[in-house]
Structures are given as structure tokens and as C-alpha cells.
Amino acid sequence: RSTLFPYTTLCRSIREEKHLEAKTLSLLTGIDAANLCRIEQGKQSVGIDVLSKIANAMGYKIEFVELKK
């Protein structure tokens, strides 16, 4: 399972909330639909760059937030 699994499943939830089919998101991101499904299921390892591309295509961005001590 990908170490970013919680975030990839979040991407799936957002995609479904926006009523986007994986095929449509695939066209928006340039990521093969089958790979996109594997990413969402945590079966394919993904880097922050790919995760960011998916998020951006759905109108979101990934930010680094400083943890308060």
C-alpha cells in the first residue's frame, strides 16, 4: 500500500462528491484511468507530484502546514 493511501482515498471521495468519473479525471490529469483507480485504492505508489496533479484537476491544492509545538 502507498504511504499516501489516506490521501489517495480522499481524492476518490472528492472525485465522487464532484460526480466525476475516473475516466473524466483521467482526461483532466493525463493519468491513465486504470492507474488512477489503482492510485485511489492504494495499490499503486504515487508521489506528491502526481497527487498534486489529481488534486489540482479537482480544484484543490496540497499545502505543507507547520505543526505547532
- Global pTM reads 0.84
Using one digit for the tens of pLDDT, what is the confidence trace for 9-54? 889 999 999 999 999 999 999 999 999 999 999 888 888 999 999 9
Q: How far is residue 22 CA from its own chain's centroid?
A: 11
What does the alpha-carbon distance between residue 44 and residue 65 come to, in Å, rounded to a whole number?
26
51's CB contacts (< 8 A; 6+ apart) are 4, 7, 8, 11, 62
C-alpha cell of residue 11 = 481524492
